[in-house]
Amino acid sequence: MNEKDPEKNSGIFKKNIHKLFDFTGRFDRKEEIILRDYLAIERTKLANERTLLSYIRASLYLVIGGIAFLGMEELEEIKNVGIAALCISITMLIIGIIRFYQLNKQLKKLYRPVKNYKGLKASTEFEKGPK
């Protein structure tokens, strides 16, 4: 790295950090969303929520394991494993929350609700069912 130009170094650092936490790829915006695409978006939202819950569950398991390792009085050398499990659980929870919000932001930006698609009012005609 070039130590003479700190602004350039901070720009490279920010770019690398952004790449590290950019879990979602870039998508092409669609002009019209048909029912199949709408359902796919809903499945993606549900999968995103399910993934967040999985991160939370795994994090809680690691917290429980870490506390159990720290509570063992007979084995003092295993306390480092407990501390590591607690640190990993916090990291895992933070990564899960970041991923959840990134995908939600991506979905909101790319697929805004369609107000009027081929004469149908958004969400009212689909809920009524066939005539």
**Domain boundaries of the chain, sorted by first residue:** 57-113
Q: For residue 61, give every residue at least 6 positions away whose Cβ sits within 8 Å of its Cβ, in sequence order, or none.
A: 89
Residue pLDDT, tens place only, 102-123: 998 888 877 665 555 454 444 4
What is this structure's pTM? 0.60
Residue pLDDT, tens place only, 14-28: 766 666 565 555 445
